Amino acid sequence: MIINCIAYENGRKLAHIDVESISDWLARPDAFVWVALQDPAEDELLQMQEEFGLHDLAVEDARKGLQRPKIEEYGDTLFVVMHLVEPAGGDLQVGELAVFVGHNFVLSVRTRSQLGFLGVRQRCEREPLLLRLGAGFVFYALMDAVVDRYFPLIDAFELELEGIEEQIFDRGASRGNIERLYDLKRRTTVLRHAVGPLLEVAGKLHGGRVPEVCTGVQEYFRDVHDHLARINNSIDTMRDTIGTAIQVNLSMVTIEESETTKRLAAWAAIFAVSTALAGIWGMNFEHMPELKWAFGYPMALAVIFSAGAVLYWRFRKAGWL
């Protein structure tokens, strides 16, 4: 559906307009049109394609979705895809924002996401001097809003990782920690797939040859590029830390298994000695000195108990028990 369709002139909002009148407003020299769509129907996209003169391939990508973050030029029109990564019940939901940018229009198509960009429009309208820069500044504001939504995710991931690290050396927590670490690594990978390609996109919007619509706002895109580079570095650092934490947890599992093996071996040795002594005195040969001795049975029990006690003391001293 159409969220907004508004015309601007010289940095100021003029009016909400009908889709049918978009082409008339585009003919005005100092005006540009900003349209926002959410999960549009096919006929709505076709109508926008007709009004703005969009390329068939770009419209097809916006319709199908599931695109990698990218930037493409079709004549004087830019087509940019960005991923909207949102928390959803302990997991991450990935939506898309496809943006068509011309010298006098911006068309944003949001899919599989419930978080809107009304705040971006209000921000731009509060800064008419910057809004006079036209479609390029609006495009920057949208990209900046997408990137800003990545920072809370990074903060949440780092906080969760710190909590797991505090429990790494807790006895019996290794298996749970590994499961949580793998889940966190999977979510950081989802975010990395959104940030990495978008970093390449932002790098093409400042310095050197840039699309004409972005020439007046290159410094703003450089700021977005810096933010993305910082997020990407944080993700790489976090992934390295997660990998180290997983190795430490696996080592802790090995150590715990070794401790268990030593305890079992110690108790097995104690019972083996007791079993051996009991087996010797239980052979029932006729000529055994202890068989007809009145204190033979108590002596045998005392020897078995003493041998077990000595072994227990030795294993305890060695740290096996």
- Any domain includes 192: no
Phi, psi (deg, nearest 5) at residue 95: -110, -175
| First CA to last CA distance, the chain | 70
CA geometry: angle 76, 72, 139, nearest 5 deg: 70
- Any domain includes 215: no
- Any domain includes 63: yes
- Any domain includes 202: no
CA neighbor of 221 nearest in space, from 152, 128, 136, 134: 136
Other beta carbons less than 10 A from residue 138's beta carbon = 25
Domain count, the chain: 2
Residue 150 pLDDT grade (very low, low, confident, very high; cuts 50, 70, 90): very high
- Any domain includes 15: yes
30: helix, strand or coil: coil
**Domain of residue 103, residue span:** 1-128
Cα 27 from Cα 45, distance rounded (Å):
21
- Any domain includes 252: no
Among 128, 143, 177, residue at a domain's last position: 128
State pLDDT tens for residues 60-84.
999 888 889 999 999 889 999 999 9
Among 84, 110, 128, residue at a domain's last position: 128
CA neighbor of 51 nearest in space, from 78, 27, 76: 27
pTM: 0.80
Among 93, 128, 163, residue at a domain's last position: 128
CATH of the domain at 303: 1.20.58
Does residue 321 surpass a pLDDT of 90? Answer: no
Q: Half-sphere exposure of 181 toward its Cβ, with a 13 Å CA cutoff?
A: 25
State pLDDT tens for residues 254-304.
777 777 777 777 778 777 777 777 776 676 666 666 666 666 667 777 877
- Any domain includes 76: yes
20: helix, strand or coil: helix
- Any domain includes 17: yes
CATH of the domain at 54: 3.30.460.20
Here the tokens at position 43 are 């006929």
Q: Which amino acid is at 270?
A: I
